[in-house]
Amino acid sequence: MKTGVLDLLKGKFLVSGDAPKNWLFLIFISFLATVMISSSHSADQKVHRIALLNEEVKELRNEFVDMRSDVQQLKLESNITGKISEKGLFPSENPPQKIKVKSLKGEE
């Protein structure tokens, strides 16, 4: 047992008679580790990008709510009346009336 661990630490498995088999396995393991590390970095970058986009969505939603409330304030009748009274226009005191046109069927 002790000699097996020492041989492993010294790297004798890399220079022994069946070393090419060990080298191929090590290269395969190294390739898999590289793929795993690059996949992990890619996932981390996507997580950070998603977090940034979520922050941007929150900011845009807040801006939308602010703008919508401003527009609602501008659409109020009292606000419109105040702005047009500065220009000399005033709301009508008489309510609007429907105009009915009667046509005579015999006349053209």
In a domain, 37, yes or no: yes
Residue 21 above 80 pLDDT? no
pTM (predicted TM-score): 0.54
In a domain, 64, yes or no: yes
In a domain, 107, yes or no: no
What was the pLDDT predicted at 48?
Answer: 98
In a domain, 23, yes or no: yes
Domain that holds residue 49: 11-81
Cβ burial 12-37 (10 Å sphere, 16+ → b, else e)? eeeeeeeeeeeeeeeeeeeeeeeeee
In a domain, 87, yes or no: no
Q: Which region among 30-34, 41-45, 68-72, 73-77 has the lowest average model confidence (pLDDT)?
A: 73-77
What is the distance between the alpha carbons of residues 54 and 63, in angstroms, rounded to a whole number? 14
How many domains is the chain built from?
A: 1
In a domain, 71, yes or no: yes
In a domain, 94, yes or no: no
In a domain, 92, yes or no: no
What was the pLDDT predicted at 106?
Answer: 62
Give the tokens for residue 48. Answer: 């950070």
Residue 108 above 60 pLDDT? no
Q: Tens of pLDDT along 1-15?
A: 677 778 777 777 677
